[in-house]
C-alpha cells in the first residue's frame, strides 16, 4: 500500500468508532487494564474503569440492557447502591459524610454492565488471565522486596509487600492460588502434564509466599475453607483423602519452618488475652468491641437503620466516657453485615444476602468461569465476617470484576447452548 492509499488518523479513528467489533475489542482491552492494574494502583484502576464504561456507551443495546437488569444478578447490586443513596435522606450527619459513604457502593453499578458485555464478548478469559498475570508479577516483586525492602514502591512498606497492604495482597494471592486448582485438575485429567505443572507451580508460589513472607489472618481462615469447597465439588473421595493428607503434611512443614506463619497465627490468642486482661486495643479485641456496639446500634433502628454515613458518629457517641479499646472510634465495624445493618437495617441486610445468594446460584455449573465466580463469592462472604470487604476498594473491585466477568462468561455459555427459537412458518429439522 502506498502512502496515498493509507488512511489518515482521523479517518482511521472514525472507521474504528463506527466498527462495532473494534469498539467491543477496545472495551475488552480496557477491562483487561482494569484487572491488571487492580493489584497495583487505585488511581489507574479507577481511570481504566471510567474509560471502560465510556467505551461501552455506543455498544449498549438499550432495550436488551434494560431487559438484562430485570435479572436479580444485576438488579440486586443496583438495589444495594440505591439503598445507600436513599439512606442519605434519613441520616443525621453532615451531607459531606453522607455522600462520601455512598461512594464505596457506587462500584456495584458497573457489575450489571460487565455481565451484559461479557455475555456477548468472547474475551472474558483474557481479562481473568490479565489479573492472574498481574498478581504473578506482584508475587515476584513481593519476593524481591522481601530480600531488599528498599525496592518497595511505597515508603514504609510492610515486609514483602511492595504496594498497597498485606491484607489486599493476601486476598489476591489466596484467590489466585485456589482458582488455579481447577485448571490443574482438568489438565491432569487430560494428560497435559507440562501445563498442569506450570499452573500448579504458580499456585504453590502464591501459597509459599503467604506462608513465608506475608499473610493476613483472614486469609489463614478462609483459604482452608475454599480448598475444602474445591475438594468436595471437584475431587473423588479417594482423591480427597490423598489431597487432605498431603495438605496436612505441607501445612505441618510450613508451620515448623516459617516463623512468620507462627507469629501470625499466634496473634489470635495473644490479641484476645491482651484485650481481656488489660483492655488494650488489639486487632481482635477491637473487632469484638466494634461488633458488640454495632449490634446495639442495629437494635436501635432495626428496619431501615440510622442512615448512610452514620457509623462514625454512632461510635463517637458511644465512646464518650470510655477508655482503652472501648474508646476507639471508627467508620467501619469490620463486618459487612454489621456495616450494612447499622446504616440500612434489615432492609439492607436482606438486599446484601439476596445478592450473595443469587450470585452463588449463578455459578452452580461446571467450567472454569463457574469455579472462578464461585470462589470470588465464597471468599468475599467469609472474609466479610472480619472486614467490610464489599465496601473496601481492592476487595470490592475483585468482587465486581470477578462476578461481572465470570458471570458474563457463564451466561454466554448458557445462551450458546440454547437451541434457536424457530421463526413462524419455519420447519424444524
Model pLDDT for residues 261-309, shown as the tens digit of each residue: 677 666 666 666 666 656 656 677 778 888 989 999 999 999 999 999 9
Domain ranges of the chain: 21-59, 125-278
Pairwise CA distance, residues 162 & 152, whole Å: 4
- Split at pLDDT 50, 70, 90, the class of 429 is very low
Q: Find the DSSP H helices in 9-94.
A: 9-18, 20-37, 42-56, 62-68, 72-86
Q: Which of 377, 286, 290 is nearest to 333 (CA)?
A: 290
Burial class (CB in 10 A: 0-12, 13-18, 19+), 308: buried
| pLDDT over threshold 70, residue 14 | no
Q: pLDDT digits over 154-199, tens only?
A: 777 778 888 888 889 999 999 999 999 999 999 999 999 999 999 9
Q: Do residues 39 and 172 lie in contact, with contact meaning Cβ atoms separated by under 8 Å? A: yes
Q: pLDDT digits over 212-242, tens only?
A: 888 788 888 888 888 888 888 877 777 778 7
| pLDDT over threshold 80, residue 369 | yes
Q: Do residues 342 and 314 lie in contact, with contact meaning Cβ atoms separated by under 8 Å? A: yes
- Split at pLDDT 50, 70, 90, the class of 250 is confident
Q: Between residues 318 and 368, which one has the greater pLDDT? A: 368
- At 192, give phi and psi (nearest 5°): -95, 75
| pLDDT over threshold 50, residue 428 | no
Q: Do residues 383 and 226 lie in contact, with contact meaning Cβ atoms separated by under 8 Å? A: no
Pairwise CA distance, residues 91 & 342, whole Å: 11
Residue 57: predicted pLDDT: 84
Q: pLDDT digits over 328-343, tens only?
A: 888 889 999 999 999 9
Q: Which of 416, 353, 328 is nearest to 124 (CA)?
A: 416
| pLDDT over threshold 50, residue 423 | no
Pairwise CA distance, residues 133 & 140, whole Å: 11
Distances (CA, A) of 4 to 1, 7, 18, 56, 139: 8, 8, 23, 33, 49
Residue 221: predicted pLDDT: 83
Q: Which of 424, 337, 353, 345 is nearest to 389 (CA)?
A: 337
Residue 362: predicted pLDDT: 95
Percentage with pLDDT > 90 across the chain: 55
Q: Do residues 206 and 139 lie in contact, with contact meaning Cβ atoms separated by under 8 Å? A: yes
C-alpha cell at 58: 455506543
Q: Do residues 79 and 35 lie in contact, with contact meaning Cβ atoms separated by under 8 Å? A: no
Q: Identify the weakest region by mean pLDDT among 54-68, 105-119, 184-198, 350-364.
A: 54-68
Amino acid at each position: 500500500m502506498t502512502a496515498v492509499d493509507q488512511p489518515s488518523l482521523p479517518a482511521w479513528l472514525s472507521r474504528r468508532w463506527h466498527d462495532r467489533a473494534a469498539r467491543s475489542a477496545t472495551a475488552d482491552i480496557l477491562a483487561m487494564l482494569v484487572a491488571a492494574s487492580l493489584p497495583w494502583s487505585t488511581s489507574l484502576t479507577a481511570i481504566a474503569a471510567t474509560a471502560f464504561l465510556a467505551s461501552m456507551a455506543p455498544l449498549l443495546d438499550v432495550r436488551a440492557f434494560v431487559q438484562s437488569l430485570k435479572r436479580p444478578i444485576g438488579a440486586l447490586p443496583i438495589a444495594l447502591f440505591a439503598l445507600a443513596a436513599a439512606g442519605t435522606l434519613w441520616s443525621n450527619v453532615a451531607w459531606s459524610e453522607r455522600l462520601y459513604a455512598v461512594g464505596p457502593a457506587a462500584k456495584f453499578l458497573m457489575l450489571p454492565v460487565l455481565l451484559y458485555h461479557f455475555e456477548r464478548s468472547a474475551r472474558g478469559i483474557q481479562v481473568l488471565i490479565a489479573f492472574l498475570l498481574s498478581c504473578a508479577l506482584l508475587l515476584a516483586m513481593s519476593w524481591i522486596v522481601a530480600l531488599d525492602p528498599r525496592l518497595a514502591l511505597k515508603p514504609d512498606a510492610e515486609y514483602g509487600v511492595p504496594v498497597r497492604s498485606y491484607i489486599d495482597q493476601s486476598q489476591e494471592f489466596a484467590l489466585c492460588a485456589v482458582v488455579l486448582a481447577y485448571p490443574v485438575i482438568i489438565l491432569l485429567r487430560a494428560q497435559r502434564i507440562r501445563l498442569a505443572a506450570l499452573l500448579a507451580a504458580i499456585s504453590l508460589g502464591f501459597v509459599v509466599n503467604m506462608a513465608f513472607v506475608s499473610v493476613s489472618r483472614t486469609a489463614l481462615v478462609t483459604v482452608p475453607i475454599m480448598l475444602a469447597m474445591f475438594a468436595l465439588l471437584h475431587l473423588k473421595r479417594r482423591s480427597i483423602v490423598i489431597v487432605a493428607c498431603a495438605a496436612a503434611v505441607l501445612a505441618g512443614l510450613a508451620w515448623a519452618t516459617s516463623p512468620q506463619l507462627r507469629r501470625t497465627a499466634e496473634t489470635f490468642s495473644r490479641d484476645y488475652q491482651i484485650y481481656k486482661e488489660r483492655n488494650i486495643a488489639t486487632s481482635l479485641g477491637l473487632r469484638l468491641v466494634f461488633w458488640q456496639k454495632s449490634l446495639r446500634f442495629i437494635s436501635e433502628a432495626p428496619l431501615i437503620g440510622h442512615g448512610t454515613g452514620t457509623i462514625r458518629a454512632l461510635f463517637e457517641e458511644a465512646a464518650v466516657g470510655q477508655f482503652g479499646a472501648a474508646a476507639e472510634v471508627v467508620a467501619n465495624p469490620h463486618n459487612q453485615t454489621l456495616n450494612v445493618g447499622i446504616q440500612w437495617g434489615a432492609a439492607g441486610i436482606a438486599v446484601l444476602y439476596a445478592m450473595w445468594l443469587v450470585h452463588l446460584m449463578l455459578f452452580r455449573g461446571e467450567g472454569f468461569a463457574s469455579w472462578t465466580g464461585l470462589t470470588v463469592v465464597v471468599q468475599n462472604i467469609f472474609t466479610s465476617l472480619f472486614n467490610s470487604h464489599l465496601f473496601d476498594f481492592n476487595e470490592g473491585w475483585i468482587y465486581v470484576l470477578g462476578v461481572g466477568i465470570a458471570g458474563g462468561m457463564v451466561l454466554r455459555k448458557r445462551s450458546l447452548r440454547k437451541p434457536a427459537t424457530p421463526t413462524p412458518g419455519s420447519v424444524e429439522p
